[in-house]
Structure 1
């Protein structure tokens, strides 16, 4: 890393992106192999999910329209009902398979990136190699899985609460309450702000699960404590990353999935699809590196120096029996400015 640990706390949005870019450039072969092994399949899975889901829903819509025009009680209606049931079953099985594959690839890519960036910062960064990273990844997936599950449950509860309150306000607004309409608008803004906040907490909790003795909701609480004082910086960083991710997704839906309706040929859609895949892979790779840099910045801001030798010893443990750092052995020791 270019910055000394005491200087990390002063990095802003641009500085953190620059620091992440310098890590990627300095260790390009390693991160290129991580991208090819984990991030590229993850990005391809996400885009394929969009295209296949669109095809399945189009088929369901077609059968549903045919069912509306079929005479009740006829063999044609029974065939359409059976076909619709098969369509929905296929969709549910596909979604379940997709979520499992997404979880697996997300765990692998996150573990590989966090370990690699932490190793770059450690005293033994010269020994960092792709086989070394591969030997570590399987040892941390349980901790990351617990944190991912905690984040999923938290986000599910958050969305459920928002929908319940928002629908209640819309019903009140429909009855002529102007105040309810205003509250619904303000609630939508608060919801988006909360979503960004939860995204920041989740990203940092993933790093905490690899580098510290926390997992699940404990890692989320630790992450929440870490971002205090750096919330605006972290929020701006992850908001920009999520915005770029959203733009790539929308572009893929418009130009590749629905490109034929805009007059785009198969060749043009294929080239655009490859461009979107490359862009998405780059965004995900940058996000994985950035989240570890943000973690280091937050540690520095709270005057917790990451001792390079102790961090190296901790990372070496991954190559044998995985024993996460205890809070008492933490690789961070207080320093005074």
Structure 2
């Protein structure tokens, strides 16, 4: 089995594949089409990739969990007392006569505390967003390189992230705007369903219609989420494709694989949502000591980080599965240069030297 290095790959790109290589590539593509990975196949292959690239996976995991945990603890200790003081001041302001000097002073303090709280939240959200972007970009890069039979060191990975992070950042900015817009649009039918389900005069037909509408919204949100995630993968792997262009390309690639993408998204969400719920209940449970709360919360956050890393690998493989059908090639960013990566995994190993 022969593996092509970057120099051999560049030479092959300059001279072009031979006739026999083209025929072999066509044969492998047709074989892969008939052996297309299903949902379980993608999950199994994702585990295999993370295991195969163990050292790099461990490095990404460490560089994801550590800053997330530190930011969580720093946020907790810097914001907790501020929130407690703000609540006490709001309670005190109702005890004062409106317009009195004490009332005006409390109002001014509340305003100032809210401004400080919003500033701190913005700083922490930005820091968490940067850690998330590093984790996703690093995981997708590492998974793509491993899947296509190539090696990558941590130093090379960090250099590539530093050189190409703007594309994924722009894509994620657009995704955030789309999420906000879709959430606002979904408020109306969800509100209607809530009013009908709690009202005494609501008809059964209207209740059923509202429920169906909510279920339809959930299905649409699953599909849109899968498109947005694949769009983020596209902006990381493909050169010069980011933002709305990457999201549009993701939607085009997923034709014929929409159900598979929705199932993968549902599996990821089904695991992550309960962890978020448990995390919130632990933090708000006064039966635990503060040390116990923070310890359990840090453990749950670490598990969530591991699941997100695994999810990034899953959607990297799903992206390549989507590329198998059109039989395209994509350009992987390689710092100062580029190499052509076949959409069929390990195809380079089958080509002659």
- The 2-side partners of 1:208 and 1:153 are apart by 18
2:98 is the counterpart of 1:98: no
Tell me the alpha carbon deviations over residues 213-244 of structure 1, each in whole angstroms, 9 at most, x when there is no partner. 42111111111122222222221222221222
SS of residue paired to 2:177: helix
Q: Shift in Å at residue 258 of structure 1?
A: 1.6
Q: 1:206 to 1:40 in 2, by over 3 A?
A: farther
Aligned with residue 97 of structure 2, among 71, 78, 84: 71
- The 2-side partners of 1:52 and 1:189 are apart by 40
Tell me the alpha carbon deviations over residues 82-124 of structure 1, each in whole angstroms, 9 at most, x when there is no partner. 221122212221232133223322222222111111111235x
Q: 1:253 to 1:233 in 2, by over 3 A?
A: same
SS of residue paired to 2:131: helix
Residue number in structure 1 paired with 2:272 = 245
2:259 is the counterpart of 1:232: yes
Residue number in structure 2 paired with 1:132 = 156
Tell me the alpha carbon deviations over residues 144-175 of structure 1, each in whole angstroms, 9 at most, x when there is no partner. 12211211121121112222454467678869
> 151-160 vs 37-46, which deviates more?
37-46
- The 1-side partners of 2:306 and 2:182 are apart by 29
- The 2-side partners of 1:51 and 1:246 are apart by 25
Tell me the alpha carbon deviations over residues 271-325 of structure 1, each in whole angstroms, 9 at most, x when there is no partner. 312321321221121112111011112212x24265xxxx6xx44x52216x7x9
- The aligned runs of 1:12-51 (5 Å cut-off) are 12-42=38-68, 45=71
- The 1-side partners of 2:81 and 2:218 are apart by 29
Residue number in structure 1 paired with 2:19 = none
- The 1-side partners of 2:272 and 2:241 are apart by 28
- The 2-side partners of 1:52 and 1:250 are apart by 23
Residue number in structure 2 paired with 1:205 = 231
Check the 8 A contact 2:64/2:131 in 1, yes or no. yes
- The 2-side partners of 1:231 and 1:84 are apart by 49
- The 2-side partners of 1:171 and 1:114 are apart by 43
Q: Shift in Å at residue 204 of structure 1?
A: 0.4
**Aligned pairs, how many?**
313
Q: 1:50 to 1:195 in 2, by over 3 A?
A: farther
2:108 is the counterpart of 1:82: yes
Q: Shift in Å at residue 35 of structure 1?
A: 1.7
Aligned with residue 319 of structure 1, among 335, 338, 346: 335
Q: Whose Rg is larger?
A: 2
Q: 1:24 to 1:47 in 2, by over 3 A?
A: farther
Aligned with residue 145 of structure 1, among 158, 169, 179: 169
Residue number in structure 1 paired with 2:247 = 220
Q: 1:64 to 1:243 in 2, by over 3 A?
A: farther
TM-score normalized by the length of structure 2: 0.77
Q: Shift in Å at residue 21 of structure 1?
A: 0.6
TM-score normalized by the length of structure 1: 0.80
Q: Shift in Å at residue 40 of structure 1?
A: 4.0
SS of residue paired to 1:10: coil
RMSD value over aligned CA atoms? 3.2
Residue number in structure 1 paired with 2:327 = 304
- The 2-side partners of 1:53 and 1:18 are apart by 41
